[in-house]
Amino acid sequence: GQQLNQSPQSMFIQEGEDVSMNCTSSSIFNTWLWYKQDPGEGPVLLIALYKAGELTSNGRLTAQFGITRKDSFLNISASIPSDVGIYFCAGPFHGSSNTGKLIFGQGTTLQVKP
Partner 1 sequence: ETGVTQSPTHLIKTRGQQVTLRCSSQSGHNTVSWYQQALGQGPQFIFQYYREEENGRGNFPPRFSGLQFPNYSSELNVNALELDDSALYLCASSLGGQNSGYTFGSGTRLTVV
Nearer to partner 1 by C-beta: 37 or 77? 37
Q: Which is nearer to partner 1, 13 or 103 (CB)?
A: 103
- State yes or no: residue 10 binds partner 1 (CB under 8 A): no
Helix and strand numbers (H, E) in the chain are 0, 11
Q: Is position 51 an interface residue for partner 1 (rule: CB under 8 A)? A: no
Name residues contacting partner 1, limited to 79-98 (CB under 8 A). 88, 90, 93, 97-98
How far apart are CB 101 and partner 1 at their closest, in Å?
A: 5
Neighbours of 66 (CB within 10 A): 19
Taking the least distance from each CB to partner 1, the nearer of 15 and 26 is: 26
Considering only the stretches 53-61, 64-72, 74-82, 105-113, report the one whose residues sit in contact with partner 1 under the rule CB under 8 A: 105-113
Q: How far apart are CA 22 and CA 16, in angstroms?
A: 20
Following DSSP, what letter does each residue of 5-74 receive, concatenated? EEE-SEEEEETT--EEEEEE-SS--S-EEEEEE-TTS--EEEEEE-STT-EEEETTEEEEE-TTSSEEEE
Looking at 28, 45, 55, 80, which residue binds partner 1 (CB under 8 A)? Answer: 45
